[in-house]
C-alpha cells in the first residue's frame, strides 16, 4: 500500500498541532506563579534584587553575590500559550510547614527527622523540637528556580546554622538583680549557678529565641527566594544523664527563691505597717497641736485689739472656770 506525500504532510502537521500547539496552552492556579523561558533564557525585567527592599537584609559583602535579575512572572489565570521552544516553570507559593529536624538529603538524620542536635555555650548537648513555616517568594523566583539546584536544602541548612550559632551564644536578657539573688548573695549563696545554666535561660526565653531567629533569617528571601514566615521552637531537652542533675538544681533554686520571696513579702508588710503607724502618730500630734496654735492666734488677736488688760481678764475667767470644776485648789499666798 502506497502512502502519498500529502498524507505524510497532513500527518506531520496534525502531530505537530497535537503535541506543540494544543498542549502549549496552560493555566495558572491561585497559589501558583509561572516563569517562562525561551531557549533556556527567562524573560527578565530591567531591575534586580538590589532594587527590591528584600536586599536591605543582605550584608555588604553579599550584595554582589546575590544580585539576581527580576523576572517576568505570569500571574494566576489563563489559558496562556507557550511555543515549542519555550518552557514554563510552575512554582507553588503556598505556605508550607516542615519539621525543624527534617533533612532533605538524609531522612534518617537527626534521629529520623524528629530532633535537632545543638551545643549550648556551656558545652551541653541539647535536642531541639519544633517546626518551620516557609513559602516561595514571587519577588525572587530567579534565585529559587535558577540560583541553586535544591533551594529547600540550602535554606534549611542556612536556618539550622543560624539556630546553632544563636544557641551557642545565647545570653538571657538582663532584668536586674532580683530580691532572691540579692538576699542569697548576702548570705554567701550563689543562685547564679542555676540561673546561668544555658538550658534554663533558653527554656525561659523561647519566645525571644524564636523572634531572634525570625530577624536573623530575613535575608533568606534575597538569598534563595524563600521567605521564612516563622520558626516555632517548642521544646529543648538535655541529655538523659543531665536531666536529673538539672532537675535537682532547679528544685533547689525554686525552693530558695520561694523562701526568699516569703521573707521579702514579710519584710515589705512590716515596712508598710511601720509607715502606717508613723502616719497615724503624726496625724495625732497634728490634732493635738492644732488647737494650741489656734488659741495662740486668738490670744494674739485679743492683745492686738484690746490691749494687755483684755488678756488679764481672759486669764482670770479661765482660772475661775477651772476652779469651778476642781474639788481642791492650792492657791499661792504671797507673804
CATH of the domain at 33: 3.30.479.30
55 & 102 share domain: yes
187 & 290 share domain: no
| 69 domain-assigned | yes
161 & 86 share domain: yes
63 & 206 share domain: yes
78 & 127 share domain: yes
291 & 149 share domain: no
Residues in the chain: 335
Please state the domain count of the chain. Answer: 2
93 & 191 share domain: yes
Low-confidence ranges of the chain (pLDDT < 50): 1, 177-196
pTM: 0.62
140 & 209 share domain: yes
pLDDT score, position 1: 43
164 & 280 share domain: no
Range of the domain at 294: 275-323
Question: What angle (nearest 5°) sits at the alpha carbon of residue 176, between those of residues 198 and 262?
Answer: 95
| 261 domain-assigned | no
| 243 domain-assigned | no
Amino acid at each position: 500500500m502506497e502512502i502519498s506525500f500529502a498524507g505524510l504532510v497532513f500527518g506531520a502537521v496534525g502531530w505537530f498541532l497535537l503535541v506543540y500547539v494544543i498542549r502549549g496552552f496552560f493555566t495558572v492556579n491561585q497559589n501558583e506563579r509561572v516563569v517562562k523561558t525561551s531557549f533556556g533564557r527567562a524573560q527578565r525585567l530591567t531591575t534586580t534584587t538590589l532594587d527590591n527592599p528584600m536586599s536591605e537584609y543582605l550584608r555588604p559583602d553579599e550584595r554582589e553575590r546575590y544580585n539576581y535579575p527580576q523576572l517576568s512572572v505570569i500571574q494566576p489565570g489563563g489559558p496562556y500559550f507557550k511555543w515549542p521552544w519555550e518552557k514554563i516553570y510552575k512554582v507553588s507559593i503556598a505556605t508550607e510547614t516542615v519539621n525543624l529536624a527534617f533533612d532533605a538529603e538524609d531522612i534518617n538524620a537527626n534521629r529520623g527527622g524528629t530532633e535537632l542536635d545543638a551545643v549550648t555555650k556551656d558545652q551541653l548537648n541539647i535536642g531541639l523540637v519544633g517546626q518551620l513555616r516557609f513559602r516561595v517568594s514571587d519577588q525572587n523566583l530567579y534565585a529559587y528556580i535558577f540560583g541553586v539546584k535544591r533551594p529547600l536544602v540550602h535554606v534549611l541548612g542556612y536556618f539550622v546554622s543560624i539556630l546553632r550559632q544563636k544557641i551557642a551564644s545565647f545570653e538571657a536578657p538582663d532584668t536586674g538583680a532580683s530580691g532572691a539573688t540579692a538576699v542569697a548573695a548576702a548570705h554567701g549563696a550563689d543562685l547564679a549557678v542555676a540561673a546561668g545554666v544555658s538550658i534554663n535561660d533558653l527554656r525561659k526565653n523561647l519566645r525571644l529565641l524564636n523572634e531572634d531567629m525570625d530577624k536573623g533569617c530575613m535575608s533568606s528571601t534575597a538569598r534563595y527566594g524563600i521567605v521564612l514566615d516563622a520558626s516555632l521552637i517548642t521544646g529543648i531537652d538535655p541529655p538523659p544523664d543531665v536531666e536529673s542533675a538539672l532537675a535537682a538544681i532547679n528544685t533547689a533554686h525554686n525552693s530558695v527563691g520561694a523562701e526568699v520571696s516569703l521573707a521579702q513579702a514579710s519584710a515589705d508588710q512590716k515596712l508598710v505597717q511601720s509607715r502606717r503607724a508613723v502616719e497615724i502618730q503624726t496625724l495625732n500630734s497634728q490634732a493635738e497641736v492644732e488647737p494650741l496654735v489656734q488659741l495662740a492666734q486668738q490670744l494674739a488677736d485679743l492683745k492686738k485689739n484690746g490691749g494687755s488688760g483684755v488678756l488679764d481678764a481672759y486669764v482670770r475667767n479661765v482660772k475661775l472656770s477651772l476652779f469651778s470644776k476642781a474639788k481642791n485648789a492650792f492657791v499661792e499666798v504671797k507673804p
